[in-house]
A and B are shown apart, each in its own frame.
Chain A
Amino acid sequence: MKPSLLIALCATMLGCHFGQRIEDFDVAHQPGGATAEVRQASGTIISGELLAVSDSNIIMLWSGAVTGVPYARTRSMSFEILHIRLEHGERPSPDQLERLRLVSRFPQGVTPELRPRLLATYHQNAIMSVNQ
């Protein structure tokens, strides 16, 4: 088959629709937050549910533990659902921060009221740091 025919066929089959559909946007339909993937300075990759975001760090559920991850201590941080990728300790822009907040488990943040309940649920006394 000629490349041009193949291309035309592909374009037709694709239906020429790009982007996400709400039906496939899992965060809209389930209680959990988006998935965060973090590559630490050591090269280790950790992945888990995004619980909350702030100016200085994210809080995620990693390996069954509520874990704080400062932006400054990561090699990269990616949130595939929003196509956001932060490199070399980069902090999210205000716009990115707002978008991340809205797809996190707790957009209100880990408030003083919520914190003890959250930690008790995961049998922790304090939020774990990735460096620990």
Chain B
Amino acid sequence: MRRSSRTAYTLLSFAAVVATVGCIFRGVRVAPVGRAENTEVLSPVKVHLLNGETAVFEDGLHIARDTVRGAGLLYGISQRDRAGGISVSAVPLDSVAAMESFSGYTNAPATVAVSTLVVGGSIVAGAALFKALFGSCPTIYSDSAGTPVLEAEGFSYSISPLLERRDIHRLRAEPDSHGVLTLDVRNEALETHYINQLELLSVTRAAEEYVLPDASEHALAVREVRPISRAVDRAGNDVMATLARDDGLVFHSDARTIAQVNAGDLDDWIDLDVPVSRGTDSVALLFNLRNSLLNTVLLYDEMLSAQGAHAVDFEAKDLNNIADMVRIGRWYGGHMGMHVSVRRGVQWDTVASVPDAGPIAWREVAAVVPVPPGDTLHVRLSFVADQWRIGKIGAAMRFRHPQPETFEPAAVVEANGTPADSARTSVATLDARYLETTPGQRFTLRFTTGASPRDSVRTFLLATEGYYTEWVRGSWIRQAEAAGEQSFAASDSTLAQTVRHWRDVAPTFEAQFARTRIATGALP
């Protein structure tokens, strides 16, 4: 072979190998930052002042009223390098000439396949996939005497690389006698999962403490848990009996509240009373909850299926475009989740937000709230009507934020028992490496935690970070073609329409949802 043709062969072969094993394409997006109040950016932002100075906020910023706030460094007009900046925490908005944000992205549509692992598993083929209705994110199971126990679902609503987020989940699983904690991770949905990190957190606690994540996805150790003394929903129902105990009774929004939803009034709420000792400055509200399938209906029926074939573009472009995602994210964040307010006199102050939890696994989560003077804390939980299923609410009078010990996976094992070292590397640390799984795939995680301490107790939590992309069903395209494709508008009208639609389809949808989970086979 001549040298030139050999070179060409080599280059072509390289391209072929790269295309075959799969590649992640990534980049940096630079976008102007608006001046709207409550704008929050979590990636680096440069703020250019009218006088020529520049402030760099490496960890992002928040715009509160007329001020830009964050941890930044201020540089003079002639400074170019990052050394020599002066700390700055607030910049008046009227002194700002321009702001731009910088954020990394992974180009999911251009990503052929992640090279780290092809996880073994039972791929459900062909038509069966398109009948599936199940939509969520990685489901995490432990093994209890041969029976899989659902522990958690990861990054439930991270439907784009730009929405990649970390969440943590309390585990019931314990290490075995050798100090090894084993979890099974499954893709049971019609989605492609991109898993960035799976990390085990261990919190050493006192016997009387209980450990769970808080609404900011940090571990919280609580004690002195008291029941609430009153719970009334917006329709006037006394829901104390439902919420006071973990007895299988679950809160749903009243049908009258759902029926009255319109674009100007989307919410249901629950008013709680919590007895507190005088002088208490804050308490931790404890929830056991999950989302209803309303969010899933919003994703399936409004965001994706109504767009028909354009849903492919929507996932590939709009959900990867910073400006569009900021718009959609602000709208979504403003309505979805659970907003926690406390009453001060006649006014309700929003003090915390509990993020969406996903519709499959029950999640224990806490929200720390301030306590105004008095012996009763009045709390209002607001949310889009029928968005939540709530099993129990309590209140802890004492709490602390412990520093957990962290463990990378010691091993990742494919469904056929083969060790998958590249997969382990992909999920061990938070970096640009992702483990991709497709419907029906699963793998086993093993963490080596060592022996339990003799003088204390440990609680384990699992941190998950990543995102997923929903598969666009053939039936969606056919239905949208028949009905006329409609683009998705992130608006209150859309949400009101979704709630009305949800009211009509909920019973059928919930039954189908449970029936059509994609099988992944038994635990190994």
Within the complex, the shortest CB–CB distance from A113 to chain B, in Å, comes to 6
| Partner pick for A12 among B14, B52, B115, CB 8 A cutoff | B115
Interface contact A21-B104, CB-CB below 8 Å: yes
Within the complex, the shortest CB–CB distance from B82 to chain A, in Å, comes to 4
B44 interface residue per 8 A CB criterion: yes
**B-side interface mostly:** mixed
- Over the window 404-443 of chain B, the binary record of Cβ atoms lying under 8 Å from chain A Cβ atoms (1 yes, 0 no) is 0000000000000000000000000000110000000000
Within the complex, the shortest CB–CB distance from B412 to chain A, in Å, comes to 17
Interface contact B75-A22, CB-CB below 8 Å: no
Interface residues on B, range: 35 or more
Assembled-state Cα–Cα distance A3/B12 (Å):
12
Identify which of B23, B79, B85 gathers the most chain A CB atoms within 10 Å of its CB: B23
Assembled-state Cα–Cα distance A35/B79 (Å):
15
A118 interface residue per 8 A CB criterion: yes
Question: Which of chain B's residues have a CB closer than 8 A to the CB of A121?
Answer: 52, 77-78
Interface contact A7-B17, CB-CB below 8 Å: yes
Assembled-state Cα–Cα distance A118/B48 (Å):
14
Assembled-state Cα–Cα distance A45/B115 (Å):
42
Interface contact A117-B51, CB-CB below 8 Å: yes
Within the complex, the shortest CB–CB distance from B375 to chain A, in Å, comes to 50
Within the complex, the shortest CB–CB distance from B117 to chain A, in Å, comes to 13
Interface contact B102-A25, CB-CB below 8 Å: yes
B10 interface residue per 8 A CB criterion: yes
Interface contact B21-A16, CB-CB below 8 Å: yes
Interface contact A18-B26, CB-CB below 8 Å: yes
Within 8 A of A (CB), among B1-16: 6, 9-10, 13-14
B255 interface residue per 8 A CB criterion: no
Assembled-state Cα–Cα distance A25/B10 (Å):
31
Within the complex, the shortest CB–CB distance from A121 to chain B, in Å, comes to 5
Interface residues on A, range: 35 or more
Assembled-state Cα–Cα distance A27/B31 (Å):
13
Within 8 A of A (CB), among B267-286: none
Name the residue on B nearest A34 (C-beta): B30
Interface contact A11-B17, CB-CB below 8 Å: yes
Interface contact B27-A102, CB-CB below 8 Å: no
Question: Which of chain A's residues have a CB closer than 8 A to the CB of B24?
Answer: 16-18
Question: Which of chain A's residues have a CB closer than 8 A to the CB of B56?
Answer: 29-31
- Over the window 103-128 of chain A, the binary record of Cβ atoms lying under 8 Å from chain B Cβ atoms (1 yes, 0 no) is 10111100101100110011000000
Interface contact A108-B48, CB-CB below 8 Å: yes
Question: Which of chain B's residues have a CB closer than 8 A to the CB of A18?
Answer: 23-26
Assembled-state Cα–Cα distance A38/B501 (Å):
59
Within the complex, the shortest CB–CB distance from A5 to chain B, in Å, comes to 10
Question: Which of chain B's residues have a CB closer than 8 A to the CB of A84?
Answer: none
Interface contact B52-A16, CB-CB below 8 Å: no
Identify which of A16, A21, A114, A118 gathers the most chain B CB atoms within 10 Å of its CB: A16
Q: List 5 A-B contacts (CB under 8 A).
A: A16-B115, A18-B26, A21-B26, A114-B97, A117-B51
User: 10 closest Cβ contacts across the A-B interface?
Assistant: A32-B80, A28-B102, A31-B75, A108-B97, A31-B54, A22-B104, A16-B23, A30-B82, A19-B26, A107-B98
What residues make up the interface of A, taking CB atoms closer than 8 Å to B?
3-4, 7-8, 10-12, 14-22, 25, 27-32, 49, 99, 102-103, 105-108, 111, 113-114, 117-118, 121-122
New contact pairs (12) apart from A18-B25, A20-B28, A107-B98, CB-CB < 8 Å = A7-B17, A15-B433, A18-B24, A19-B25, A19-B107, A20-B27, A22-B103, A32-B79, A32-B80, A99-B30, A103-B30, A108-B98
